[in-house]
Structure 1
Amino acid sequence: MTTHNPRRNFLKTAAIATVAATAAPAAKGFTILHKDKPADEQLIGHNGFTYKVDKSWAKISVNNTPLANCHEMVQDSKGRLIMLGDHTHNNVLIFDKSGKLLDYWGTSLPGGHGLTISKEGGEDFLLLTDCGWALDRTGNTYGQAGQVLKTTTDGKLIFAIGHPRTIGIYKDDEPFKPTETAVAPNGDIYVADGYGSDYIIQYDAKGKYIRHFGGHHNSNPDHNLRNAHGITVDTRDKNNPTLICTSREENCFKLFTMDGKFIKRIDMPGMYVCRAVINDSNIYAGVCWSKNAEGKQFDGSGFVTILDKDNRVISNPGGMAPVYKNGVLQQTLQAKNATFMHGHDVCIDEDKSIYVCQWNANHTAPVKLTRV
């Protein structure tokens, strides 16, 4: 591990200048092989997207690198896996693919929540989102001002985007608790205010405001967002990039043009989905909660979901197999033998392994799913 002061003052420069149907292919059912074996030897998933579970992947010490909630993870150009959490001893943990801890930094983000990576001029940069609230050790919430920070991968601050009220686009009674960012091919930054007023706010690459959309007050309810928890730029069609916005309370993704015009929704019945993660032609997402057979959300639930190039669910590792009737996805339940608690984000490496970050999961490190 890199030798350094673990309490290195991340972003001390925080004289931060705020800038301004047809059935799907027959699923083989929820796959757990060798049910008498421990969780780390289970296989989960469906339709060829099956995985071996490794809950002991991360080689870290709870004393030196404690965890609260593991919120999100990305992979950089060097193949390193960068995780953001909300423990202010070490907001950012950096691993290699074997789970060895390479570096850690960050002491200033008690609401560390969203993590996006972008490349400019051959260099990787991070966008870190602090949602403005966190859980303390007793499970109670506490808050501060939400913010978005652009940094280098070793924590040097480039700039910050603060409260939209400072540039006149929020009313006094509209809270700002951002949860996620996405970066467009032209460098524009989209901020999802998922715990605040549910707007998507578009800035240019330098943090200058362009527009905002979403929120709660549109005449067409499809244009509204309810818990706009995640946002992703979908470039699978290189000539027609779009935005995939999470509307988690509605159990769906909503697609918008890059300038905020509604296109359509992708319903995910029973799934409280987090951000969409694009890998090749597929979408992957953590499911933070699921509903039970009676249609009620329940704590301690969650899994991973995978969609194909046509935005149809093909696998639910940790959940039941997807079922379509007359082209409509039916409610998906968690598997009886739960693998995850509150799947909050996924990262997919070049081997198609999935790293799952979990929220409110007893301080557990990311889980690795190796594709088999």
Structure 2
Amino acid sequence: MMKYRIACLFIAALLGSPAVGRAADVSEVQPVRMGCGEMTFDTVPGWGLRPDGNSAIGPTHGSVVIDKGGNIYTSAQRGVFVFSPDGSVIKAYEGGDYTNLHDMEIREEDGVEYIYGARNNNAEGIKFNAHSGEVVLRLPYPEESGLGLKKFNPTAITVAPNGDIFLSNGYASNHIFRFDKTGKYLSHFGKKGNGMQEFNTAHGMTLDTRYQPPRLLICDRNHQPKGRLLHYSLDGEFIEEVITGLGMPTAVAIHGEFVSVPDLQGRLVILDKSNRIIAVLGHNPDPKKGGSYNVPQDQWIEGVFSGTHGSYWDHDGNLYVQDWNISGRIMKLVRVGLQAEQQ
């Protein structure tokens, strides 16, 4: 089994096609198959591009979520763009409150879907109606925490089953703040550092529903010598180091027993229920482009990622992946019907 798994990961890392996603010839680009076993995917060339073949969203440094209708929301520098499953833009919230959402979560409350966002450059968390755009809650730096911080630069946000909101100050102090559903400050945990219960850039975070009760799954992106994932309770108590050696993990998304973990160095890894890597997608072998923001659209390579920053699963197990990218890149990966690994 282990030999099969290692060979499978090696093959997945080599499957990048040299086909370049130029605006002028998107129709000539062929799908690329990546991953292995249960986690095998085909790319969808040109997904999310405008009819003229250019990016529809502009520079990206954000996230991806999907509503119950199957529409895909991705955050870019200038706002939040909503795509249909076929890749057409059907709505956009641009400017003002919708800029610079570094991370997003989507949640249904009393029949209404809301998006929670961490606005790093705007020093706040935000909650807005996913279908009307109405802002219903803001989370500024909580002075009542008593920390007296001079910099508040939120990078991640998630919500507990009871409505408590967790907001990470990942580009500054690395404290994770806990608020109730009305925005009242409750507590905080963590601090900057490289120790077991410290964060060296608490960059991404989600509710890990693979466990009961659910836990916080947190990306410690710049932990040395390699990035890692950590588990904390919803009371802010350290549970365990989940996995190490991940490069620079930027975000986490749950689908059943599986976790997708974008790596800023140019790949996405998938973990199983035991938190073992079972597939590697989009590996970038070029050290000058893996982890680079400055890869313009005419240098995109189908099936090869650059600064992988956000991902999300749809109901069918397809993946949507966003690169940290100067031109604005979001990709659809269709899960193909291969048989599960042989035991």
Deviation at 1:26, TM superposition (A): 4.5
Deviation at 1:86, TM superposition (A): 1.0
- Aligned 1:116-265 pairs, distance under 5 A: 116-132=105-121, 145-153=122-130, 154-164=132-142, 166-173=143-150, 175-216=151-192, 221-237=195-211, 239-250=212-223, 251-265=227-241
Q: Which whole-Å CA distance do the structure 1 matches of 2:208 and 2:246 have between them?
A: 23
Match of 1:141? none
Q: Return the structure number with greater relative CO, CA threshold 8 A, min gap 6.
A: 2
| Counterpart contact for 1:27–1:46, Cα < 8 Å | no
Matched-pair identity in %? 25
Q: Greater helix share, 1 or 2?
A: 2
| Counterpart contact for 2:253–2:259, Cα < 8 Å | yes
State the TM-score, normalizing by the size of structure 1: 0.75
| Counterpart contact for 1:70–1:366, Cα < 8 Å | no
Unmatched runs of 5 consecutive residues or more in structure 2: 21-28, 285-289, 292-300, 337-343
Q: Which whole-Å CA distance do the structure 1 matches of 2:16 and 2:308 have between them?
A: 24
Could you tell which deviates more after superposition, 344-353 or 56-65?
56-65
Match of 1:60? 50
Describe the SS at the equivalent of 1:315: strand
Describe the SS at the equivalent of 1:285: strand
Deviation at 1:268, TM superposition (A): 3.5
Match of 1:339? 304
Deviation at 1:46, TM superposition (A): 2.6
Question: Is 1:305 matched with 2:294?
Answer: no
Shift of the 212–124 alpha-carbon distance from structure 1 to 2, 3 Å rule, reads: same
Q: Which whole-Å CA distance do the structure 2 matches of 1:172 and 1:128 have between them?
A: 21
Match of 1:282? 258
Deviation at 1:256, TM superposition (A): 0.7
Question: Is 1:77 matched with 2:57?
Answer: no
Deviation at 1:64, TM superposition (A): 10
Deviation at 1:51, TM superposition (A): 1.3
Could you tell which deviates more after superposition, 36-45 or 225-234?
36-45
Shift of the 212–43 alpha-carbon distance from structure 1 to 2, 3 Å rule, reads: same
State the TM-score, normalizing by the size of structure 2: 0.82
Match of 2:88? 100
Shift of the 231–146 alpha-carbon distance from structure 1 to 2, 3 Å rule, reads: same
Deviation at 1:273, TM superposition (A): 0.5
| Counterpart contact for 1:24–1:314, Cα < 8 Å | no
Deviation at 1:53, TM superposition (A): 1.6
Q: Deviations over 1:139-172 (max 9, x none)?
A: xxxxxx41111110121010101122x3243324
Deviation at 1:129, TM superposition (A): 1.6
Describe the SS at the equivalent of 1:30: helix
Q: Deviations over 1:28-71 (max 9, x none)?
A: 23235695766642211133312112241014368995411151
Could you tell which deviates more after superposition, 34-43 or 243-252?
34-43
| Counterpart contact for 2:263–2:308, Cα < 8 Å | yes
Unmatched runs of 5 consecutive residues or more in structure 1: 1-20, 133-144, 290-301, 321-332
Shift of the 35–110 alpha-carbon distance from structure 1 to 2, 3 Å rule, reads: closer
Q: Which whole-Å CA distance do the structure 2 matches of 1:64 and 1:222 have between them?
A: 41
Shift of the 46–210 alpha-carbon distance from structure 1 to 2, 3 Å rule, reads: same
Aligned residue pairs total 306
| Counterpart contact for 2:43–2:303, Cα < 8 Å | no
- Aligned 1:26-45 pairs, distance under 5 A: 26-28=6-8, 29-31=10-12, 40-45=30-35
Q: Aligned partner of 1:152: which letter?
A: N
